[in-house]
Amino acid sequence: MILGLTGRNASGKGEVAAFLVKGGFEYSSLSDELRDGLRARSAGTSRDELIAEGRRVRHEEGLDSLARRVTKRFTHGLNQVVDSIRNPEEVKFLRTLSDFYLVAVEAPVDVRFQRALARARPGDPVDVAAFGEAEARELQSSDPAAQQLVATISLADYTIVNDGNIPDLQDKVRNIFRTASGRMRRLTWDEYFMAIAEVVSTRANCAKRRVAAVVVRDHRIVSTGYNGTPRGTRNCNEGGCARCLDLAPSGSGLSDCLCSHAEENAIVQAAYHGVSLRGATLYCTFQPCILCTKMIVNAGIAEVIFRTAYPLPEAAGHLFREAGVNVRSILS
């Protein structure tokens, strides 16, 4: 899960982020990204300097560049909290990632002013009027690279009104986390096993194409296979199959091809280890050929799910139908 935080100055985004970090989230801040850049140039890090630096970075590197920067440092498998999101393009990029939700943190202006005074950051306004003027410059601008808080806040999936005490704020954060957890998307079984087949295909040694098959029973993998030359022989891509390396037209010279197909290897590997495939499901990155179709039927496999179709003869489909093997195509 990725929870992005946006909101006006001193609304309490830092408190929300700190609570999430204690709960196991990894922390990133777009403002910290700007601070690091300014410090590297021995420049000041006042609020006005941060705003100017953000505008410069977005102009030079792209409106979503700060979000792109921090996501490169995410630790895979950890929940993430991304603080200080202030431009709609940053939100747009983060929405391309799985399970991203934007949280807007709000509080009355007088409460926020008192909080700003208490934290006493360099360059922060020291009276309510100046605080309001500074904030107005951040809310919206004709420059798309500037801070666009009004537009960004309007994109929020959840809003927290932080006008109480810390325990009250934490309860609101917990409720959002629980709700967002219920919305997290899991892969379907078909997506899951097809994704595994894609990884298996990276072991293929055929010079013409990479294909893989995964055989599953009761949602458990019982065999895998990828295409390439037989066990103990020279790999196809290393010169083991002259037909493939000669760039023979697809479908021609098949009697000279030394590569075993992915489905064939998955079935043979099961036999090699004494595993029955009766009633199993076979996931394959490409549609099975007529030879593999016959092997699938004879192995007792009940269902075939493939991603990419081949222009195969009708005989393959006829065999599957006559044998009662369910065949369907999905996108991976």
Which residues are identified as catalytic? 263
Q: What is the side-by-side order of every strand in the sheet holding 303-308?
A: 220-226, 212-217, 281-286, 303-308, 326-329
| Alpha carbon 279 to chain centroid, angstroms | 33
Longest dimension (CA), the chain: 85
- Which DSSP helix (H) or strand (E) runs through 109? helix 109-119
Residue corresponding to tokens 């096993």:
193
Residue 65: which of 81, 79, 53 has the closest Cα?
Answer: 53
Closest to 325 in 3D by CA, of 279, 276, 286:
279
12, 263, 273, 290, 297 from 270: Cα distances, Å: 58, 11, 5, 20, 15
Q: Which residue has the tokens 């044998």?
A: 323
Strands (DSSP E) found in the chain: 2-7, 26-29, 80-83, 100-106, 158-161, 212-217, 220-226, 281-286, 303-308, 326-329
Give yes or no for a contact between 112 and 10, defined as CB atoms under 8 angstroms apart.
Answer: yes
Cα first-last separation, the chain: 22
At position 54, the amino acid (one-letter code) is G
Q: Residue 98 class from Cβ within 10 Å (0-12 exposed, 13-18 middle, 19+ buried)?
A: exposed
For residue 228, the 8-state DSSP code is B
Q: b/e string for 276-298 if b means 16 or more Cβ within 10 A?
A: ebeebbbbbbbbbbeebbebbbe
